[in-house]
Amino acid sequence: MRHNEVEHVTVATEIPFGSILRAHMEWLANPAQGRRADLSGLTLNETKVAHADLRRAILKGITLLDAHWTECDMSGASLENSDLERANLAGCDMTGCSLDDANFAGSWMAGANLSECKGSRVSFRRAKLTGARFMDASLQQCSFHEAVLDSAMFHQARLYELDCQASSLTSTHFYHCRIQHTRFNNSNASLASFQGAKLDHCQFTSATLDGARFSKAEITQGIFRNASLKNCDFRDIRMRGGEFARATLTGARFGGAQLTMTDFRGANLEGAKELTAEQLQQVLTDRGTILPNGSRGPYMRFSGAEKPL
């Protein structure tokens, strides 16, 4: 990111945008000489800006519909109530931004850095966030409905009441996240990682999670109804009250998992690995359950059905 110049600024407006940016750079270097950029409430639709230094700028209520603000540094900026629908924000640094009620619906944000950002009621609906970073972010009641988040990173983020339904989360990392009351229904999270995460009352109904990693996660009241969980890694998880009705768990690994009262009625566990007789005696199975050896449940002690063929 360049902080000493602004490249490719095209603003069809009477607002002296270039002068504002130059004064802002002077303010960043010496607050006694320059002036902090305050673009609150301005409409700058379809503007084109690249490599602008807008660190700690005031952008509350700004409207940037269809704008192209690529690789800009907006770290620490105030973006509350802003409307950036369909904006191109690829490669932007938005570390530590405040985002309450901001709208990024349909925006192109590949590679954007939103680490340590905070926001409630933010819309990322249908946004393209491939490879975006949300490490240590705190987000509440936000929408990622139908968003593309492949290979995004949410390490140690705090996520509350999010709508991630029908989103694309292939190879997305939720390492050591705290996720509560979040809906991943109908999402594609194949190869995603929830290792060490705490998931409380989250829903994965009809989600595709093939090859996903949940090792050492704590899952409370997780709903995996009708989900595809082939070859998932559930080793050393602690699960309380999970439901896997009609879920497919073929080839999944359960070594060391604590599964007390987990509901596997109607689930397909054929070929599941590392399940023990003790584990299967502590979970709920019925005639609709397919056990690791391919036989029908419920699991009976000393049957050997815990051993895949």
* SS3 of residue 47 by DSSP: coil
Q: What is the pLDDT of residues 274-299, one digit of tens each?
A: 999 999 999 999 999 999 999 999 99
Which residues, in sequence order, are CB contacts of 31 under 8 Å at separation 6+?
Answer: none
State the pLDDT at residue 2.
44
41 φ/ψ sector (left φ>0, alpha ψ -120 to 50, else beta): left
Neighbours of 278 (CB within 10 A): 10
Closest alpha carbon to 140 in 179, 172, 113, 109: 179
pLDDT of residue 15 exceeding 80, the answer is no
Tokens standing for residue 137: 């972010």
Which residues, in sequence order, are CB contacts of 16 under 8 Å at separation 6+?
Answer: none
Single-letter amino acid, residue 220: T
Closest alpha carbon to 209 in 241, 249, 176, 164: 249
pLDDT of residue 13 exceeding 60, the answer is no
pLDDT of residue 136 exceeding 70, the answer is yes
Band of residue 214 on the pLDDT scale cut at 50, 70, 90: very high
Which residues, in sequence order, are CB contacts of 138 under 8 Å at separation 6+?
Answer: 117, 118, 119, 157, 158
Residue whose structure tokens are 């009241």: 221
pTM value is 0.92
Q: Determine which of 11-20, 72-81, 229-238 has the lowest per-residue pLDDT on average.
A: 11-20
Band of residue 5 on the pLDDT scale cut at 50, 70, 90: very low
Single-letter amino acid, residue 104: F
Q: What is the pLDDT of residues 243-252, one digit of tens each?
A: 999 999 999 9
Q: What is the mean pLDDT of residues 70-83?
A: 97
